[in-house]
Every structure is written in structure tokens, then in C-alpha cells.
Amino acid sequence: MNVKRIRTNRQIQACFSVIRQLRPHVTEADFVVRVRRQEETGFCLAGVFNGRVVCAVAGYRVSECLSRGRNLYVDDLVTDEHRRSQGIGKLMLDWLIAEARRQKCNHLALDSGVQRFGAHRFYLRHGMNITAHHFALDL
Ligand SMILES: CC(C)(COP(=O)(O)OP(=O)(O)OC[C@H]1O[C@@H](n2cnc3c(N)ncnc32)[C@H](O)[C@@H]1OP(=O)(O)O)[C@@H](O)C(=O)NCCC(=O)NCCS
């Protein structure tokens, strides 16, 4: 298994079957276009690969704000449903932490839906703290 930045359209397409497990509203027809558009504002994709097979995907961005300074924000993190509980999520999270350090960030953050109890256990187990409430308004 190794973790790679996703760069080509073919690699992006290969992530779709995994990302759809977390983002079921995203269609295969739209996926590459959406990723490419998001990249214009700093979005990146990375994946855990077993050969050419994508086992986990993370979407993230590095940015800077007054509250947190330079930080890596994880938009998306998902392991293929047939490969969970094998340490692949930890491999992806460890890579994201290393990437944040490589990019001189002093903070890694993400939002997780209140219903995702399993994911919360995973984050807490890996030393993350719950530090905010997320407020949202549908427009
Ligand atoms: C959270 C997630 C990325 C962890 O990936 P993973 O490859 O299973 O991670 P690891 O094998 O390193 O760690 C497994 C631990 O994650 C937690 N976990 C959370 N959801 C889980 C699930 N659906 N299946 C298995 N483990 C899950 C458990 O604490 C588990 O520990 P256990 O095996 O001792 O029960 C993965 O479970 C997943 O993709 N969940 C669905 C999508 C999701 O909720 N993503 C987070 C969005 S904020």
C-alpha cells in the first residue's frame, strides 16, 4: 500500500467508486469537472493505493486564517467499505498530518457530521479533539 497525490483525470476517475460512499450526491459524470474546479481554489486529492486499486481517498486544502494560522483542512476522508478496520484510514490520516507538516501548517482540522459516530471514535483515537460547533444555513 502507498499513498499518492492524485493528479491525472484517470486517477481522479479511479477514486469515484470510493468517494461516492461518502458523497453519494456527486455523480460520476460530474466528478472530474468538480475536482478540477475545486483545485483552482486549492483543493487536492490523495489516495491510498494497493497497486492500481484505490482503497481510501482524502480531499484537503491548505489555507491560512486569522483564527488558526496556516492549516490543512480535510474536506473528505473515506476508506472503501470492503477494506475498513485494516489500518488504511490511519495510513491516510498519518499522510495528511505529514503533508500538513511538510507545508508548514500548525493545525489540521475537519468537520464530521454529528451522525458519524464511528468516524468520531477514529478521530478521537488518533489524538484529535472536538474544538468547535459547526453552524450552517442552507441558501
Ligand atoms: C472513518 C474511516 C475513514 C476510517 O477508515 P478505516 O480504514 O476503517 O480506519 P482504520 O482501519 O485505521 O481504523 C478503524 C477504526 O475506525 C473506526 N470506524 C469508523 N467507522 C467505521 C466503519 N464504518 N467500519 C470500520 N471502522 C470504522 C473504528 O473506530 C475502527 O476501529 P475498530 O476497527 O477497532 O473498530 C472509515 O471508517 C470510513 O470511510 N467511514 C465512512 C466515511 C466517513 O464517515 N468518513 C469520515 C467523514 S468525516
For residue 34, CA distances in Å to 12, 95, 125 come to 10, 24, 32
Instruction: Evaluate whether residue 85 is within a structural domain.
Output: yes
Q: Which residue from 77, 79, 126 has its CB within 8 A of the most atoms of ligand 1, so it is best to mutate?
A: 79
* Closest ligand 1 atom to 80 CA: 39
Q: CA 130 to CA 137: how far, in whole Å? A: 21
Grid coordinates belonging to 95: 499522510
Angle, alpha carbons 95-31-59 (nearest 5°): 20
Instruction: Evaluate whether residue 132 is within a structural domain.
Output: no
Residue 10's domain is classified under what CATH number?
A: 3.40.630.30
Total domains present in the chain: 1
Range of the domain at 91: 2-124
* Closest ligand 1 atom to 91 CA: 12
Instruction: Evaluate whether residue 138 is within a structural domain.
Output: no
* Under 8 Å between Cβ of 54 and 47: yes
Instruction: Evaluate whether residue 118 is within a structural domain.
Output: yes
Instruction: Evaluate whether residue 28 is within a structural domain.
Output: yes
* CA trace torsion 94, 19, 26, 99 (10° rounding): 20
The pLDDT profile of the chain, 139 residues, written as one tens digit per residue, is 999 999 999 999 999 999 999 999 999 999 999 999 999 999 999 999 999 999 999 999 999 999 999 999 999 999 999 999 999 999 999 999 999 999 999 999 999 999 999 999 999 999 999 999 999 999 9
Instruction: Please spell the DSSP secondary structure of the chain, one letter per residue.
Output: -EEEE--SHHHHHHHHHHHTTT-TTS-HHHHHHHHHHHHTTTEEEEEEEETTEEEEEEEEEEEEETTTEEEEEEEEEEE-GGGTTSSHHHHHHHHHHHHHHHTT-SEEEE---TT-HHHHHHHHHTT------------
Instruction: Evaluate whether residue 20 is within a structural domain.
Output: yes
- Predicted TM-score (pTM) of this structure: 0.95
Instruction: Evaluate whether residue 135 is within a structural domain.
Output: no
Grid coordinates belonging to 103: 507545508
- Ligand 1 center to residue 122 CA distance, Å? 6
